Amino acid sequence: MIPPGSTLGILGGGQLGRMTALAAARLGYSCHVFAPEPDSPAFAVARHTCASYEDRAALEAFADSVSVVTLEFENVPVAALEILARRVRVRPDATVLAVTQDRLAEKRFLEARGFPLARYRDVRSREDAGRALAELGDRGVLKTTRLGYDGRGQRIVASPGEAAEAFAALGGGPQVLETFVTFEREISVVTARRADGARASYPPVENRHEHHILRTTLAPAPIAPALAREAVALAEAIAEALGVVGLLAVEMFVTGESGLLVNELAPRPHNSGHWTLDACPVSQFEQLVRAICDLPLGDPTPFAAAVMDNLLGEEVHAWPRLLAEPGARLHLYGKREVRPGRKMGHVTRLFPLAGGLTR
């Protein structure tokens, strides 16, 4: 057990790291954040090292200053985790990262274990892209296997010619083509797992995207209880199969024909779990701290329903109005530069648990 008073290491300095450090502080831990960007939002609330993930000496000094390392961003080079793992516990470990930072590896992992996902093809060339679309159907989504987020690195394609063009426009590197899923809704489950296999899951939430960026989360998702149980069981089974210690967020499509299809995994706190800060006894960030420190996992049962809206780009300027709104819970990430679509903060509004979620 890693007791309160210890120092936790966090790789990545974004808002997820910032909110993890704040939750850790509440339990009496200190955090040391490692990130390459000088203006990282998490730097304002924790001790930090600003260095490249390739800087071995900086990584080793970081490892020696903490009791355990976790991450808030899955695109950290696996080699960096391996350097750290020689000196300190890393949770989740490099094998989890290797699967979840590569869409193709992730899909193969899920497929090999019988988890449901949309049909896909490995794409390495323009010809592959055109052929894959012809095989999979009328419409598909071409995605880079690495470094895609918030809709970056993906294109919807509707003809083999378009698929070939999109392959080049996405940089011509390794890609996957998925069938376009006509879903009823998108949901996600955040589950926590400790090294001894103990687990706790938040209820599924519904996520609404705009331009591939999360706009709104409705919690809990307005879905049938049996489907909610199925989604939680699926997320827990994937976390177990991966051997995650920490958090795993599982994004899924709800479809009429095929039921649940797994879209994407993230082995870290997730934007769709921000509502837990205001509507659950223990937030996803505190749950991460508990899981990596071998503490008892907290109760994930919400005491209120919640609607979480991201504040994207200029929307953050609404903060005075949001502060004045009774019941609105405002979270700002301290990012100085406002860019279109950039996640600047979020606001959560609570509602009685039964009903009220038809927005």
Task: By CB under 6 A, name the binding residues for ligand AMP.
Answer: 118, 141, 148, 151, 178, 180-181, 186, 209, 212, 251, 263-264
Stretch (H or E) spanning 19: helix 15-26
Nearer CB in complex with ligand AMP: 72/186: 186
The whole-angstrom separation of Cα 305 and Cα 301 is: 10
| CB of 213 closer than 8 Å to CB of 310 | yes
Tokens read off for 231: 């989604």
What is the DSSP code string of 195-262? TTS-EEEPPPEEEEEETTEEEEEEES-SS-HHHHHHHHHHHHHHHHHHT-SEEEEEEEEEETTTEEEE
| Backbone CA torsion sign across 126, 130, 131, 132 | positive
Nearest distance, CB of residue 74 and ligand AMP, angstroms:
12
Nearest distance, CB of residue 140 and ligand AMP, angstroms:
7
Nearest distance, CB of residue 181 and ligand AMP, angstroms:
4
Nearer CB in complex with ligand AMP: 145/263: 263
Nearer CB in complex with ligand AMP: 186/309: 186
By beta-carbon distance, which residue lies closest to ligand AMP?
A: 181
Nearest distance, CB of residue 184 and ligand AMP, angstroms:
12
Nearer CB in complex with ligand AMP: 186/286: 186
313 CA to centre of own chain: 20
Nearer CB in complex with ligand AMP: 180/351: 180
Nearest distance, CB of residue 4 and ligand AMP, angstroms:
35
